[in-house]
A and B are shown apart, each in its own frame.
Chain A
Amino acid sequence: DADVTQTPRNRITKTGKRIMLECSQTKGHDRMYWYRQDPGLGLRLIYYSFDVKDINKGEISDGYSVSRQAQAKFSLSLESAIPNQTALYFCATSDFLGGANTGELFFGEGSRLTVL
C-alpha cells in the first residue's frame, strides 16, 4: 500500500457541487500539504498543516477549505466547484527539518478532478 493515499483518484463533477478530496498517510509525518497542478503552471500550494492544530493558507486558497482530522488525515474541500478548478491535486507529507531530513515532500498518487 502507498504511504500517502488519496481518494478519489479520479472524479468528474458538475459546477456548483461540493467535492471532498481525502488524504491519509502512514508515514507518521506531522506536516501535510495540498498542491494543485495545472499544465504549464507547475505545482501551486493550496493549504498546508504543520501539525493537527495548525492550518495555513497557501498561494491559491480561494475557493478551497481543508480539515485536519488527525495526524494521518488531511482533507481538501471545494464548497462549490467551478470549471477552472479542473486540475490534478496532490497531497504530500514531510518530516520535520533537521538531521538527515531535508524537508523532502512525499506525494500521493494524485486526484484528477474535472468540473463540467
Chain B
Amino acid sequence: AQKITQTQPGMFVQEKEAVTLDCTYDTSDPSYGLFWYKQPSSGEMIFLIYQGSYDQQNATEGRYSLNFQKARKSANLVISASQLGDSAMYFCAMREGGSGYSTLTFGKGTMLLVSP
C-alpha cells in the first residue's frame, strides 16, 4: 500500500481563491511527521509546512495551512488567496517514527495551476 496518496494529479484555481490539495497517509506508527513541499517550474524543492502527529493545533505558515484530520489520516494543504506564483507541483511527504532514524516518503504530487 502506498504510504502517501495524492489523488489529484492536477488542480486549477483562479487567482485570489482558496484551494485545497489532498493528501492521505498510511502508517501504524503513533509518532510521525507530515510535510508539504512546493516545486516551481524552475525545479527546486521548497519546504512549506510541517505537522507533527502529536501537534494539537493545525499548522499554519502565512497563506498555507494544513488541515490535519488524524482519524481520517489526511493532511490536506490549504492555500488561501491563491497567487499566480503558486502555480507549481506540490508534494506531500511523511516521516514515520520518532527515533530520528527514518526517511521521508513522498507522494506523487499535485500540479496546481493558478489562472488570472
* Chain A contact residues, CB within 8 Å of chain B: 33, 35, 40-45, 48, 50, 58, 88, 90, 92, 96-98, 102-107, 109-110, 112
Contact = CB atoms under 8 A, between A and B. Distances in A.
Interface string B62-104: 0000000000000000000000000000010101001111111
* Size band of the interface chain B makes with A: 20 to 34
B101 A50 contact: yes
A54 to B, nearest CB: 9
B104 A40 contact: no
A102 B106 contact: no
Contacts, number: 60
A41 B101 contact: no
Contacts of A88: 43
Nearest to B45: A107
A97 B100 contact: yes
Contact of A41 (B35, B43, B103, B108): B108
Contacts of B47: 104-106
Contacts of B45: 90, 92, 105, 107, 110
